[in-house]
Amino acid sequence: MSSCPFCGTKLEAAAAKCGKCGANVGERFKTASRLCPKCGGTLKTESECPWCGAPIIHEKTKESEAYIVLKTFENRLRNFIQSELEKTDLDWWRTRVPGDIREVANSRRSRNECLYPWRDPKDTSPLCYVDFQDYAKIVTAERNWNEVFESFFKDKHEITTKLKELSLIRNTIAHCHDVNEKDLAKLKKCADGIASCFETEQITSADQSSFKQAESILLGEVVSKTCSPYGVLRLKCDNKDPEDINIEFSSGGAGDVVRPKPVLGKIKWPLGNRKLIEDEIRHLLQTVASQHFITGTSRETFPKFIQEVGENMYSVFPESIRREIQKLSERSMLALELDDSLVGLPWELAFDPIQKDYLCMRFGIGRVVYSENVAIRKRRPKRQTRMLLICNPAGNMASSINEVAVPITKRLESFGAEVACLSYDPNSSHHSSKENILRHLSSGSYDIVHFTGHGSYDSLFPQESGFAVADKKWLSAKDIADALDCSKNVGGEPPFIFYADSCESGAQEGWNRGATGTKPLGGLSEAIVRNNIAYIGASWAAAIKPTNWLALAFYDSLLLKNEPIGLALLDAKKSVKNEFRTEDVNCEWANFLLYGDPSLSIRI
């Protein structure tokens, strides 16, 4: 029974007027679960009274808190399971989920759609129709456990037990039973324990901007994930017809249960001859690279070479894929998942005639190669971030000390990082010798490695591509790969970022899968990326001043602005293009590319 808000007289449930003062109370004072403390009007879930406008503060109950904790965790768990299984097979629901679980989930989904036929069907993940015990079965299925989830959860029995405990609590919440302090505490402990296994160990792609800020810090205090709009562009050769390339565009993020369907297409090369087109694009790239050494190149003609490359790349995208790319907002993340044989093509330079710009100048782009099985990085204990700065090791680029080494050292040390610099010493070549550099690389004690010096790509023997060091010696891709492998054997970890500021340091015609030991490495990129390192390198010969500027702008954005690595490189490209816009030859914005997750961030 409610009271008249004007005189306080008790009112009958059906009363339209107060029997004492005659006030018209009407519908708003009928019996309800909650009443406005100011006017006594019926409340539902409003944040303010619909009758008098008074703000309403809803009491936070254990049931509501438990529901929020459970919902948030389950969405994160679903997304994690799906994203990991998608890496193994795009048809993961059929190939990786036990048949009995699929049958029950499909039945639940059909029943839900039949009950509400007037509703628009939602493209929900099929995992929305399974429960916690089903999650346990999916995760611990022998093939899934051995190939995917063991590296995250370690103990099969423990994860199964925790998910079963969560299943009981979920039933309590779903059936509106009271949730006590013990249940709430157990829910938080189980949810946090499971989430910590996958959210503090992996580097994930960025989330859409509408999603909440990422809650976990990855890889100790050093590496974290970011929350920006992103897309994934997958390109893979057709097994039946090598002339064709299957292409797929998708977008989504952590916590996103309703995902847009991936847009599928097929690249059919003009004239049906893929090799001729690829050779033509590579010829254009060589022309671009050669302009660094040709005098008299005008500002009017040079950009046409780059744009012609970009237009050729963009023209092969199906119209449906172009539309999806154009929907991405500026400064979105874009991950390029490439087949082995496609890494030699400059996909980042695809020129969109509608946006009138290159993909690499609109998005934070990172490459991921299909053949690389990305290992899960171990958490590193909280400590000072360390950089290994290798500058002018051969002694033939003295200007780089003042133009690169000193500014980078000052920048990082101002952020509290520690910098170890190896540079040429005319009195003792040991400091920048091949042996000393390899000793530092194999120590596993650095988070960032930056190299500034001379380098080159050997197309005949790509495993011999590398850098010039002291005593006229050569630091090859194989040498670097072996040193980085050793870093894991001595209890250390390879760096998270390797930036190679040298000619042709990112050149790579193909991915030879040298990590298996049965074939030689395909170049520096493969040697470094195979150790799960984000790698930045140049596709062709690099001009000294613009590349120095690019490196400094990159670290400013990465550390000062706390931008993820993909956007830090994008900012650096825009900066160098603007700063050297009057130069006859300035294509360093197009020269450097990133292998790795563009959402990786460094925390100093």
Instruction: List, in order of start, the domains of the chain with CATH numbers.
Output: 1-58 (no CATH), 62-202 (no CATH), 230-318+330-369 (no CATH), 386-542 (3.40.50)
Q: What is the pLDDT of residue 35?
A: 55
Helix (H) or strand (E) holding 284: helix 274-290
Question: If you search the block for the tokens 């950089």, which residue do you land on?
Answer: 387
With 0-12 / 13-18 / 19 or more C-beta atoms within 10 angstroms meaning exposed / middle / buried, residue 43 is buried
Q: Enter the pTM of the model.
A: 0.62
218: which residues sit within 8 A by CB, 6+ positions away?
Answer: 199, 200, 201, 202, 203, 204, 224, 225
Q: Select from 367, 507, 505 the least CA-distant residue to 449.
A: 505
Q: What is the pLDDT of residue 375?
A: 47
Q: Select from 333, 538, 533 the least CA-distant residue to 455.
A: 538
Q: What is the pLDDT of residue 499?
A: 97
| 574 within 8 A of 538, measured Cβ to Cβ | no
Q: What is the pLDDT of residue 532?
A: 85
17: which residues sit within 8 A by CB, 6+ positions away?
Answer: 23, 24, 25
Q: Round to whole Å and give the CA distance between 259 and 125.
A: 7
Beta bridge mates, 258 = 124
| 309 within 8 A of 285, measured Cβ to Cβ | yes
Any idea of the CA torsion for 196, 197, 199, 205, to the nearest 10 degrees?
Answer: 180
Beta bridge mates, 236 = 246
Q: What is the pLDDT of residue 515?
A: 44
| The token pair that represents 157 in the structure block | 């029995």
Neighbours of 555 (CB within 10 A): 21
Cβ burial 102-127 (10 Å sphere, 16+ → b, else e): beebeeeeeeeeeeeeeeeeeeebbb
Alpha helices in 116-179 (DSSP H): 132-140, 142-144, 150-153, 156-174
CA 122 from centroid of its chain's CA atoms:
26
Q: Select from 438, 442, 459 the least CA-distant residue to 520.
A: 459
Torsional class of 523: left (φ above 0), alpha (ψ -120 to 50), beta (otherwise): left
Q: What is the pLDDT of residue 54?
A: 60
Q: What is the pLDDT of residue 206?
A: 32
Residues of the chain with pLDDT under 70: 1-64, 113-124, 175-176, 199-229, 242-243, 252-261, 268-302, 371-383, 490, 512-519, 582-586, 603-604
| 557 within 8 A of 572, measured Cβ to Cβ | yes
Q: DSSP 3-state helix, strand, coil percentages of the chain (rounded to 5)?
A: 45, 15, 40
Q: Is 117 helix (H, G, I), strand (E, B) or coil?
A: coil
Q: Round to whole Å and give the CA distance between 451 and 457.
A: 15
Q: Round to whole Å and give the CA distance between 114 and 123.
A: 15
105: which residues sit within 8 A by CB, 6+ positions away?
Answer: 126, 127, 129, 130, 134
Side by side, the strands of the sheet bearing 418-423 are 263-268, 244-250, 230-237, 333-338, 364-369, 592-595, 534-538, 497-501, 448-452, 386-391, 418-423
Q: Round to whole Å and give the CA distance between 165 and 212.
A: 27
Q: Select from 458, 439, 559 the least CA-distant residue to 499.
A: 559
Q: Round to whole Å and give the CA distance between 470 and 472.
A: 5
